[in-house]
Amino acid sequence: MIADRTKMTRNIPDEIPEEFWKIIESLRTSKNSFSQVFDSLDETEIIRFAWNYEESALQMKMYFESTYEFSEDSVDEFCFWIVSQGEEYYRQLWEKCEFQIVTNMNSELQYQADPGFYSAACDAFYQRTGEEVPEKNDDLFY
């Protein structure tokens, strides 16, 4: 069973900060390493990016969880990949209320592996602070 988005009162794409999508676009178009993009951010910006990335993928995941053809790891990677494609792509998928694209992720969408933006953010934070990205809290999240 696929989640019915028509019963939801929140529009998650509207809650994702514009700054987040700007960083995604920088990562997508960067000819340099991901670390150079994260080097330009302060620690709080890296944390917010990681939290928003994870939350954006998690919100998309609810539509794919009940697809028994795929492992949980495959669904996680697929949802991270969706986020990595940028705001327009994310919104297009979100706004398809029926989400019938789920039936065959591999052949219909032709997605590639997650490019690792979330991992790169976590690595950049660790390199800078020697600590893991902290658990999400609402004070910094929005």
Question: What's this model's pTM, rounded to 2 decimal places?
Answer: 0.77
Asked whether the predicted pLDDT for residue 98 surpasses 50, the reply is no
Q: Are 54 and 20 in contact (CB under 8 A)?
A: no
Residue 24 pLDDT grade (very low, low, confident, very high; cuts 50, 70, 90): very high
Which pair of tokens denotes residue 79? 């949802």
Q: Any idea what DSSP says for residue 32?
A: S
Which pair of tokens denotes residue 129? 């602070």
Q: What confidence tens digit (pLDDT) does each residue in 73-83 have?
A: 788 888 999 99
Other beta carbons within 10 Å of 122? 20
Compute the distance between CA of residue 135 and CA of residue 142 in angstroms, rounded to an integer: 14
Which pair of tokens denotes residue 62? 């609810």
Q: What confidence tens digit (pLDDT) does each residue in 50-66 have?
A: 999 999 999 888 777 66
Compute the distance between CA of residue 98 and CA of residue 42 in angstroms, rounded to an integer: 39
